[in-house]
Structures are given as structure tokens and as C-alpha cells.
Amino acid sequence: MLEIVNYNRDEYNFPALIVLGCFDAIHIGHAELLKKAKLQAKINGLDMGVMMFAEGKGGRQIFTFEERLALLEQYKTKFVLKIDYTEDFKKTTAAEFLSNLEEHINVKAYMSGKDFRFGAGAKGKSSTLKNYAEDEENGVWYMSVKDVAVDGEKVSTTLIKQYIESGMIQKANALLGREYFVCGEVNKGHGRGRTLGFPTANIVYPSDKVQVKPGVYGVEAEIDGTVYKGVANCGPRPTFGEDAVVLEVFFEGLSEDLYGKTIKVKFLNYIRGIVKFNSAEELSAQIMRDKDMVGAPDNLSQDEPSEEPAASQPAAEEAPAEPAAAEIPAEEPATEQADEPAAEPAAEETSQPVSAEEDDVCDPEGIAEPAEEPTEEQKIVSLVEEVFGGEHADDEAEGDEPEMIFEDEPEEDDAAEEETEDGAVPADGSAEENTQNND
């Protein structure tokens, strides 16, 4: 069980390495930092502690404090530095923050992501910690690690929240390194699902968790040791005139009464938007189709169907909006249009530069003018160049040096980075992890 150390109140006397950051999601970037911190703590005989804000920094959280505590167990974390993000805390300067930590905790080392900011006005950063560690009087060392990027974009809690709220649940899951989930107690509903042949578990969506885009999702849950896949509706239920946000889940193959049980529902994929059906029978038919889509790619290529489908038209056949790909304006760069399946791949068209010779004979109408017969004088000049010009051209080619492009020389810190990879701490007390995929 992790020990909770309350900031500026509780003591921790064993020599410790503190990992600084918000850790409000424990995503793949955080995981890289924690794995490296775990190794450094083991090599140097230190207890690893992780800084976390109790209720995040305001607003809904991806994972609650209790959920994050459970996720930290796998990294051999000894204690969590619990901080309340209050107005008083926001006024704490970077120097005061470090002083407060070391007054109550036996800190021997700090680690953080390279973009970590702290202190009033976010004036403290990784270079602040580096300079602090280089002062031998402080008696600590510091190591930073680089950010993790996926498809050229830095992994961050903000980005993951955006993915969750826009229905891109599989992208969110990829950056989290696990499925996004919510936990809740199953409440008694109206029993309509059982009447339709689809008994459902109703969970009030947690108010402190980031809410998924309203819609229908493929989900799974482990209940009494068995994993069940299912279909969940998150949001209002317009077919029955209800506006309250509820997570209503049908688990295929499960007939057990779940009332009063707390279950964890993992989101696998976004299936479709919420639709108001003309009858319970139409809804039942759609659920049958939804079951086949569990685990499929997120269905975000179309806008959500109209809330009022025609009586003779099933929900699955409602006229959708144009796919997002068709909305790309013509003036977009060719490299972006290269992803369009219907168009010729622009990347292939532009990857090979057109030579000047090809450009000279190119005719816009598709018919090249026949080349004119050279005059007698031009033939003589060409013959002279052929005899005497080749040798001169070779000399000129041999004398020209190719243009060289040099990369920036590595900074002195890079030497320290390499030394720290096998656990050695540099003499100046600071280190920077030289790994491309860190956070």
C-alpha cells in the first residue's frame, strides 16, 4: 500500500527520489518517466515518491486520485506526495517549493519531464532544477527526460482529454497505454432494456471524470472474474424523453442481476451518435447492429445522424453528412491531400523534382512541338564543345567541393546524459536522459 505524504505537513525520513509532475492521467509519457525513475531509485538505494495533485488542477479528471494510486503500484512507488491545488499553493515560488519539500522529506534526487514547470507564475522549470542541483550545498542531483511524441505531437493530458471529449476514444487509449474507464454503482432503471431483450446496467456518469462524447460505444467490463463485451449508450435517452446523462450498458451473454455492484466499464470504440428512434422495436434492431461494431475503428468519418429519422427509414440508414475528408478545401497543401483515397497520391507526384529539361519540352496542351533541325553553324559549335568541352567539365567537377551541412555540436550536458544511462550520477549533481522517447 502506498504511503500518502501530505505536502508541507507530513515527514518522510528515508532518502528519497521525488518525481515531479502533475500525473493526472498516467499516460505513456508519464510511464517512460516513471520507469526511468524506478531504475534510478533502485541503483542509488532511494525510495521513489511521486508528486500528485489530489483533485487535479481543476475541472474533470481522466483518472481520479484513487485510480491513479492504483496505477502507480506497478512502478514500485513507495509514497505519493499529495498536494492540494489551492490558491495559497499557487502563490508558492519555485525556491519556496523546493525548500518546503526538503524541510519535511529527506530528498536526495529529483526527476521530471523536460517541460516541467512549477512555482508561482510557472517560473520554475527543468533548468531551474538543474542549476539548483549543481550547487553542491543543496546536496541533491537532478535528471530530466525528454517528451514522448506520437505522430509528431507531444503526448499530454490536455490532448488526451480532447480525444475523449470528441469521441476519438481509440486515440486516447493509445496515448494512455490502457483503455479509458469509469467506475460506478449499478442503479435500478426502468427495466425497458429487459423488456426489449437487452437487459442493461445503468450507471450515473461520475461527475469528476472527463465525459466522453455523447453516443454509443463498444465497451468491456470484468464481472466476477469474467470479461464481458457490450454496447453502452452515454448521454440522454431521447427515445424515452429523458435528458439525464447516464451510462447504460448491455453486456452480451450476461443475465446476472448487477444492482448495487460497482463495476469498471472500459471504452473500446465509438460506434455512432445518439438517435431518437420512432419505436422501441427500431431501437432493438439498431442494438443488434451495434453489437457487431464492438471493437471496430472509431466511427467518426460521418456526422451524427439526425435526431428525427423518417418513420420508414431505419436509424442505420439515415442520410449522414458528407465525410470529413470531402470537406478539405482545394487550396490545402498537396501533402495533406495525399491521404485522400480517391485522389491520386500527391506525395508521389511531388516526390520527384521535375528537371529543367523535362520542363522545357512540356506542352500544356499535351502536344509537344517538334524540335527544330540545328543549323550548320550550330552543328560546328556542338562538335567543338564535344571535343574540347568534356575535359574542361571534368576538371571543374573535380575541383568543386560538395556543400556540407553540419549538425549543431552536442552540448556539454550530452556527455552527462550518456553517463547516467547506466545509473551513474554526474559529479555536478545533474543529468539529462538522452532518450528520444521520454516524457
Assess if residue 385 is contained within a domain.
no
At 160, which amino acid appears?
Answer: I
Domain identity same for 215 and 131: no
List the grid coordinates of 342. 480517391
Residue 346, pLDDT above cutoff 80? no
H helices of 166-301, in order, are: 169-176, 192-195, 280-291
Domain identity same for 184 and 271: yes
Please state, rounded to an integer, the average pLDDT across all residues of the chain: 75
Domain identity same for 284 and 223: yes
Assess if residue 92 is contained within a domain.
yes
Q: Which of 146-160, 302-316, 367-381 shows the highest mean pLDDT?
A: 146-160
The alpha carbon torsion through 415, 420, 426, 430 (nearest 10 deg) reads 90
Judge whether 101 and 107 are in contact, CB under 8 Å.
yes
Residue range 159-188: average pLDDT?
Answer: 96
Domain identity same for 173 and 272: yes
Assess if residue 409 is contained within a domain.
no
Domain identity same for 195 and 129: no
Domain identity same for 194 and 282: yes
Domain final residue, candidates 327, 346, 380: 327
Residue 400, pLDDT above cutoff 60? no
Q: Which of 39-48, 231-240, 250-259 shows the highest mean pLDDT?
A: 39-48
Whole-angstrom distance, CA of residue 164 vs CA of residue 26: 15
Assess if residue 421 is contained within a domain.
no
Q: Check residues 431 and 36 and name the one with the higher pLDDT.
A: 36
pLDDT at 375: 62
Instruction: Indicate which CATH number applies to the domain containing 12.
Output: 3.40.50.620
Classify 49 as helix, strand or coil: strand
Domain identity same for 104 and 7: yes
Instruction: Indicate which CATH number applies to the domain containing 293.
Output: 2.40.30.30
Domain final residue, candidates 327, 350, 379: 327
Assess if residue 197 is contained within a domain.
yes
Classify 308 as helix, strand or coil: coil
Residue in the structure block whose three cell numbers are 465525410? 323
Q: Name the least confident of 148-162, 234-248, 275-289, 424-438.
A: 424-438
Domain final residue, candidates 327, 344, 367: 327
Assess if residue 308 is contained within a domain.
yes
Whole-angstrom distance, CA of residue 402 vs CA of residue 19: 48
Of 385, 182, 330, residue with least CA distance to 264:
182
pLDDT at 170: 97
Residue range 332-361: average pLDDT?
Answer: 36
Judge whether 221 and 228 are in contact, CB under 8 Å.
yes
- Give Cβ neighbours of residue 159 (< 8 Å, ≥ 6 apart): 153, 175
Domain identity same for 192 and 322: yes
List the grid coordinates of 171. 486515440
Domain identity same for 182 and 70: no
Work out the end-to-end distance of the chain between its first and last CA atoms, rounded to an integer number of angstroms: 26
Judge whether 184 and 263 are in contact, CB under 8 Å.
yes
Domain identity same for 305 and 194: yes
Which residues are paired to 222 by β-bridges? 227
Residue 17, pLDDT above cutoff 60? yes
Domain identity same for 234 and 319: yes
pLDDT at 405: 27
Domain identity same for 143 and 198: no
Element (H, E) at 406: none
Element (H, E) at 215: strand 215-223
Residue 315: give the domain boundaries.
167-327
Judge whether 208 and 160 are in contact, CB under 8 Å.
no
List the grid coordinates of 186. 449499478
| Structure confidence by residue, pLDDT tens digits, 43-92 | 999 999 999 999 888 889 999 999 999 999 989 999 999 999 999 999 99
CA distances from 295 to 51, 218, 247, 271 (A): 35, 6, 18, 9
Assess if residue 405 is contained within a domain.
no
Residue 194, φ and ψ in degrees, nearest 5: -65, -35
pLDDT category at 349 given cuts 50, 70, 90 is very low
- CA 8 from centroid of its chain's CA atoms: 32
Q: Is 231 left (phi over 0), alpha (psi -120 to 50) or beta?
A: beta
Assess if residue 392 is contained within a domain.
no
pLDDT at 424: 45
- The count of domains in the chain is 2
CA distances from 313 to 277, 282, 301, 310, 409 (A): 10, 10, 21, 5, 67
